[in-house]
Amino acid sequence: MLRQQGIVAIIGVIVVFAILHLGFAPEHHDPRTTGTTMLGGIAFLLMTCSIVLSTRLDIFEDLFGGLDRMYQVHRVAGVFAALTALVHFFGVPKDLPEGVDPVANALVPSAPLGMLGLIFLVIGLFIALNRKIRYSRWRPTHKMMALVYVLIIGHFMTAPNVFVEQFSASGLMIILAAIIGVISLIYSLFGMNRRTALPFRIEAVNALERATEVVLTPVGKMLDFKPGQFAFVEVQGKGWSEPHPFTISSAPDEGQLRFTMKVLGDWTRKVREELQPGGEVKVRGPYGRFDAAGAGKKQIWLAGGIGLTPFLSKLRAMQPDDDRQIHLVYAARDQQDAIFLDELKARAAKLGNVTLVPLFSDEGHFARVDKMKENLPDPLSTYEYFMCGPKPMVDGLMKGLRKEGVARKNIHTEAFEFR
């Protein structure tokens, strides 16, 4: 779940900037100049926040509720930055104030730098939001946004004093943000945002129904993780391109790592067709905050298809003395598609505190809030919910639960995508 602390921190930075900018505006500035330069500053701060989030630092995971949430905020901050920058561009006075020499002003590169930055920002945003572009192509293009940031710094630093005063209180805040932003850019662009890679040997590659289970044995240190967390998997060898994120489906005390990968595109198909036991894999992580251990005593776990993986790890880690009451709703296409169903049944029977509810869409059964209301012993608002599955399913359930009075803080979701 997206935690409010992170959003409050971003809003706080923007509010402080606005107060400083409006409160200490130079007397010779007309309201339009003050207002539009403030919007330019806000756009820059939003871009900086977006860049800082791409550092993937642990502290931000705590603040925002996991890496998947950080990337959602990264995207939204980018969109708002572009919109605010557009308003700034159209609103900022184009005529030079009296007394400013147009020839001297023409020699200052602020306007062309800003214009270029804005054009690249808008193009970059269209590319960033285009889901049709393959991830492996999209990623290097997205990194070009770093250029936009540098152009905008140039635009601000060379802007004539009649528009902004770089060394005013709000100007200094922008300069500080630029320093943090540039350090974050270098950190991310040079791959320092990837957590230390631990080497693993491929123990087994098991073909399942439309998915592959990859079992890894640590070569040295074992990855320390909590059930529900994920990691980036990097297969060593030619043609294996960039790391891919997968939820760890094993329990932390198994001594091995298990990932269950749905066959979706080129990389996951290659895993199924070409990955061989004995090969080397690097695992970076763990990431994520989809943790049910510290939540309420009555929990509903809603898994759709491959969205079962975080719950698989939680269930595999669960001890017989666990005092939570858990309903695991597992929605799949049909019996065959419901991977690990037999294991889930056996574990639920052994544990005693887990009620398993398999639902097959081919038989006309879906995860539905009205059915949950009918079948659960207590009112819906008394449970804590954990959901992972296809977006339409998660969005639909979220809407239904909210309508039934379930507090937002009691609904936790894990997104299987970053963009």
Question: Which residues contact ligand FAD by CB under 6 A?
Answer: 68, 134-135, 230, 242-247, 260-262, 264-268, 306, 309, 416-419
In the complex, the smallest distance separating the C-beta of residue 164 from ligand FAD, rounded to whole angstroms, is 38
What span, in angstroms and rounded, lies between the C-alpha atoms of 350 and 33? 70
What span, in angstroms and rounded, lies between the C-alpha atoms of 402 and 183? 41
In the complex, the smallest distance separating the C-beta of residue 277 from ligand FAD, rounded to whole angstroms, is 20
Nearer to ligand FAD, 71 or 149 (CB): 71
What span, in angstroms and rounded, lies between the C-alpha atoms of 291 and 308? 14
Nearer to ligand FAD, 68 or 384 (CB): 68
In the complex, the smallest distance separating the C-beta of residue 266 from ligand FAD, rounded to whole angstroms, is 5
Helix axes 31-53, 4-23, angle to 10 degrees: 150
What span, in angstroms and rounded, lies between the C-alpha atoms of 411 and 186? 36
Can you tell me whether residue 231 is helix, strand or coil? strand
Nearer to ligand FAD, 163 or 246 (CB): 246
In the complex, the smallest distance separating the C-beta of residue 65 from ligand FAD, rounded to whole angstroms, is 12
Round to the nearest angstrom and report the end-to-end CA distance of the chain.
Answer: 16
What span, in angstroms and rounded, lies between the C-alpha atoms of 113 and 119? 10
What span, in angstroms and rounded, lies between the C-alpha atoms of 412 and 384? 8
How many residues does this entry show for the chain?
A: 419
Distance of CA 270 to the CA centre of its chain: 25
In the complex, the smallest distance separating the C-beta of residue 290 from ligand FAD, rounded to whole angstroms, is 8
In the complex, the smallest distance separating the C-beta of residue 258 from ligand FAD, rounded to whole angstroms, is 10
Distance of CA 125 to the CA centre of its chain: 17
Nearer to ligand FAD, 174 or 211 (CB): 211
Nearer to ligand FAD, 149 or 290 (CB): 290
Nearer to ligand FAD, 291 or 404 (CB): 291
| Chain position carrying tokens 């603040």 | 63
Nearer to ligand FAD, 89 or 138 (CB): 138
Element spanning 394, H or E: helix 391-403
In the complex, the smallest distance separating the C-beta of residue 191 from ligand FAD, rounded to whole angstroms, is 13
What span, in angstroms and rounded, lies between the C-alpha atoms of 229 and 324? 20
Nearer to ligand FAD, 177 or 283 (CB): 283
What span, in angstroms and rounded, lies between the C-alpha atoms of 110 and 329? 57
In the complex, the smallest distance separating the C-beta of residue 32 from ligand FAD, rounded to whole angstroms, is 42
What span, in angstroms and rounded, lies between the C-alpha atoms of 126 and 239? 28
| Chain position carrying tokens 């037999």 | 342
Nearer to ligand FAD, 130 or 161 (CB): 130
In the complex, the smallest distance separating the C-beta of residue 67 from ligand FAD, rounded to whole angstroms, is 7
The count of other CB atoms within 10 Å of the CB of residue 380 is 18
